[in-house]
Amino acid sequence: MSFYNIFCSAFCVGNSKQKRTTKNASIHPQQVVSVITAKSQSPFHAEDRFVPFTQLTITSQHVEILKKYWEEVIVVQRKDIFHKTMLFSIEASPKLNEIIACQKYCVRDLTQWPKLHRICQAQFDFFHNLIFNLNCDPAAVEKEAIKLGKTHCEYAKYGLKPQFLDIWTQQFLNLAERLKIKDPEERKLFLDAWLNLISYIVEWMNYSYAKHMSEQRQKCPYQ
C-alpha cells in the first residue's frame, strides 16, 4: 500500500455512506522550516531541492524497536490506533468529516463508516510496510511523502489542508504515549522514532503540497 493512498486517495473514491476528545500530547511535531539547496535524487529539479529542517535520523536500533513494539504492543494493545487517531482528529476538527466525505453525506456513527475504515487500514498497512520492508529508508520516506503532498493538493478543493496533519500527528503521538512499554529506555526510543518519522513525512508533504499548489495556480491563474 503506497503512502499515496493513506490519508487522501480513499477520501474521494465512491460515495460510501458514511466522539471524544483527548488531552494535548506532550510530544509536539517540530516546526517546518524551508531551506532550498543541495543536490539529491528527487522528483523535483535540483535547483528546487528542499532540505527539511527535520532530518530523518532513525537508526537501525530505532527500526528494530519499532518492529518489536509494533508486534508486541501495537498489534496486541492498540491495533486500532490509526482508527482511534482518525476519530479523535475528526472530533478535534469536524471539518475533516466533510473532507473525507468529499462534502457529501456522512453517517452519524463514524465507527461504522466503511470509508473511514478503509483509510485507517491503509494507514496501518503503509506504516507496516515502511517499518518492516523499507526499514524507514529516508529516500523511500521522502518519495512517499512527496506523493501524498501532491494528493493533498489535488483534494484541496474539498478543504484538505496540510494543517490537518498537525492534528493527526498530535492525536497519534498521544495514543502512542499511552501504550504500555515496561522498559523506559526502549519506550523513549520508540516514541522518539515515531516523532522523527512523522515529522519528516509532514515536512515533505507540506513542501510538496505548496509546490504543486503553486504550479496549479501558474497553469490556471484565474481559477
Per-residue pLDDT of the chain (223 residues; tens, 9 = 90+): 444 445 444 444 443 444 444 444 444 444 433 333 344 444 554 446 788 889 999 999 999 999 999 999 999 999 999 999 999 999 999 888 888 887 665 666 788 888 899 989 988 988 998 899 999 999 999 998 888 888 777 777 778 777 889 999 999 999 999 999 999 999 999 999 999 999 999 999 888 878 877 777 777 766 5
Is the distance from CB of 22 to CB of 88 less than 8 angstroms? yes
What 8-state DSSP symbol labels residue 182?
S
Q: Which residues face 35 on adjacent strands?
A: 51
For position 29, what pLDDT does the model report?
A: 43
Distance of alpha carbon 137 from alpha carbon 131, whole angstroms: 9
CA nearest 96: which of 2, 175, 19, 191? 19
Q: How many CB atoms within 10 Å of residue 76?
A: 12
Distance of alpha carbon 209 from alpha carbon 161, whole angstroms: 9
Is the distance from CB of 168 to CB of 131 less than 8 angstroms? no
